[in-house]
Amino acid sequence: MAAITKDYLQWVNDRGTVLPPGPVLLAPSSFFSALHREVIEKKPEVFKIACLGDIRDLFPAQRKPFYAAFGNRTNDAFAYKQVGVPDTRLFTVNPKGELVQERTKASKSSYSHLSELVEHFFPALSVDGSASTALDCPEFSSCSFWKEPLPELDLDALLKTIKSCFLLTACLTQEYTLYTLAYTTYTYYTSYTTHTTFQRPAGPHAAV
C-alpha cells in the first residue's frame, strides 16, 4: 500500500503543478486493520493523532513543529487541533476544491487566493533554508504579544447605551414626522388663502 500511495501522489498533476517532495506517513498496521478502523469504526483520526503526536514529541516542549495543516474531512481538522495546530492556519478542502478556514467556516477561498497571502500565513525561509526566527514562537510575535490589548467592555452598559440611542432616534423621528405634517398643512393653507379670491355678495349692504 505504501508504494501505491506514493505512486499516486507523484502521479497527481494539475496543469503542470505537482505535489512537492515530502514524507508520507502510513499506519504500521495491516491493510485490514486500517480498513476496519477507517471504514467500520470511522475513526481515522486515531492514527493521525498518535502519529503526529510522536513527531511533535521529538521537539522541545516550547517548540511547535506544526505551523499549518490541510485536510479534506472534519476528522482531519480534529486531529490537527489535538496536536496544536491553531484553527487560524487550519484549512479543509471541500469536494468543490474550495478552501474553508476552520475559524471562519462560512468564508470559502481558493489556493490562488491563499497564494496571495502566503507571506502572511506561512513563515519566511532564510537563504540556507532554515525557518525565520521571527516566527519560531508565533505567540510572541509583534502581532500577538506586543500589540495593544483590546479594552474591556461592560456589555450591560453597552446594551443600555444602544437601547437609549434607539429610543432617542425613534423620538426624533416621530417629532420630525409631526413637524413635517404641520409644516405641510401650514404651507397648503397659506397657498390656498393667497390664491383664492373671495367675492362679496351683491345687495343693499354691498359697499359702493
Q: Within 13 Å, how many C-alpha atoms sit on residue 188's CB side?
A: 6
At 187 the pLDDT is: 67
**Burial (Cβ within 10 Å: 0-12, 13-18, ≥19) of residue 144:** exposed
At 76 the pLDDT is: 87
> Torsions phi, psi of 82, nearest 5?
-65, -25
Tell me the domain boundaries of the chain. 67-147, 151-189
Give dist(CA 68, CA 110) in Å, integer. Answer: 16
Question: Do the strands 90-93 and 69-71 form a parallel or antiparallel pair, or are they unpaired?
Answer: parallel
Residues 146-173: tens digit of each pLDDT = 556 666 777 788 778 877 777 777 777 7
> What's the mean per-residue pLDDT of the chain?
74
202: left (phi over 0), alpha (psi -120 to 50) or beta: beta
Cβ count near 73 (within 10 Å): 13
At 198 the pLDDT is: 46
Give pTM, 2 decimals. 0.54
23-27, 76-80, 82-86, 147-151: which range is least confident on average? Answer: 147-151
Q: What single DSSP character describes residue 141? A: S
